Amino acid sequence: MKKKYFGTDGIRGEVGKYPITPDFMLKLGWATGRVFAEEGHGFVLVGKDTRISGYMFESALEAGLSAAGVDTKLLGPMPTPAIAYLTRTLRAKAGIVISASHNPYYDNGIKFFSVEGTKLPDNLELKIEQYIDSPMVTVESSKLGKASRLVDAGGRYIEFCKSTIPSSLDFKGLRIVVDCANGATYYVSPHVFSEIGADVITVGTEPNGLNINEKCGATKPEFLAEKVIEFRADLGIALDGDGDRLIMVDHKGEIVDGDELIYIIARSLQKSGRLTGGVVGTLMTNLGMEHALKKMGIDLFRANVGDRYVMEMLKKHNAVIGGESSGHIICLDKTTTGDGTIAALQVLAELQKSGKSLHELKSGMKKYPQVLLNVRINKKVNIDEVDEVTKAVKAVEKKMGEKGRVLLRSSGTEPLIRVMVEGEKESDVVKYANELSEVVKKAI
């Protein structure tokens, strides 16, 4: 069955436009409660990021869950990966995250975690959708759910993060700028890095409900790069609004993206004999990473874009590290979902163990120039079935050989064909990307 409300990563959209409305969230809370009430007594965790609409949706979900007879424990502002961890360790029926991740404040959304701290299986999402489309019935008053606040949630998560690296490592004297994007990590992540001994300078830690992801964080790492140079720091850590993405900056102010960070972590795991099953990237993972891993005898497996698909492939290949160039990194030997703070700790641990700088650690991987062009279309097509386009793609691939890569794919959210070309020479990459874009425009 096709899902009506759930996308690949929950439900997301603009606040005030259906389904991101208070009445829908009330019904969603009730529907979720009904599904989990069928599985016996228990409670549901509800956490959020710092956007202003979180207050409204938190109250609506709480009311809906209560109407279904389910207890709620409210976490307040808390990173998405922290909610996944707490759902698992507190053995909650489910964890609900109110967040639109790296989107601006006027968007919001809902994500769910199962008792294992992973995304809900399709059958449960479909069951929730069936209840959403059925009449809402409140349980009798004696069976209404209660709500309470979990006051030590932040402390629990801070301790868990610190436990993912050896306590023997000494980070004294390491100067770090941490950019929390005025989002959900504004309190917990600076504590994690300062408690392991680093000298922490914070930016993006003054959320006002409207400034989440605004010109800062993992989606705007140029701001962090300026601060690293300004404060003469050893490196910078940029998280996104809900804390599941990580981009870093080295002491020269150079941005270190998700591909380079995954490479560093994979290399560290291989050196310590803890790497299993290869590394998982996506269709957009830079060819330079694939070549660098190949030199080390490590296989790269490419999943479709999206953390759900990365997770599926990690499990399929029994791998422990994977993610996306955007900085969504899953350290599956440490936790069950993408976690920017935990991924950063693994990089810092390798920094200390190797005695090298972040700049030196990333230098083992040479990023290939990559050009991504969007071609707007007025009708839905399967690009793989357009002869003129497939011929042109094959011709470019033949010219580049193993030193280049072409990817054409339809956008899942807009009427666009995305044309991506990467290779050794930037001039060739730009030329081929423009040529292919023109072929797509004429053919469609």
Report the Cα–Cα distance between both ends of the chain, in Å, rounded: 31
Question: Which residue in this structure is represented by tokens 């160039």?
Answer: 325
Amino acid, res. 20: I
| Strand ranges of the sheet holding 43-48, from the earlier edge strand across to the other edge | 11-14, 107-113, 94-98, 43-48, 71-77, 147-149
Asked if residue 279 lies in contact with residue 319, where contact means CB atoms within 8 angstroms, the answer is yes
Asked if residue 186 lies in contact with residue 198, where contact means CB atoms within 8 angstroms, the answer is no
| β-sheet bridge partners, residue 375 | 417
Cα separation of 95 and 111, whole Å? 8
Strand 246-250, strand 255-256: pairing: antiparallel
Max Cα distance, the chain (Å) = 73
What is the signed CA dihedral for 245, 249, 250, 255, rounded to 10 degrees?
A: 100
Active-site pick, 53, 66, 99, 101: 101
Cα separation of 357 and 16, whole Å? 47
**The pair of three-digit structure tokens given for residue 147, joined into one six-digit string:** 């709500």
What values do phi and psi take at 272, rounded to 5? -95, 5
Residue 99 known to be catalytic? no
Q: Coil, strand, or helix at residue 282?
A: strand
Cα separation of 284 and 439, whole Å? 21
Q: In sequence order, what are the residues at sequence separation of 6 or more whose Cβ sits closer than 8 angstroms to the Cβ of residue 363?
A: none
Cα separation of 82 and 71, whole Å? 20
Q: Which residues are catalytic?
A: 101
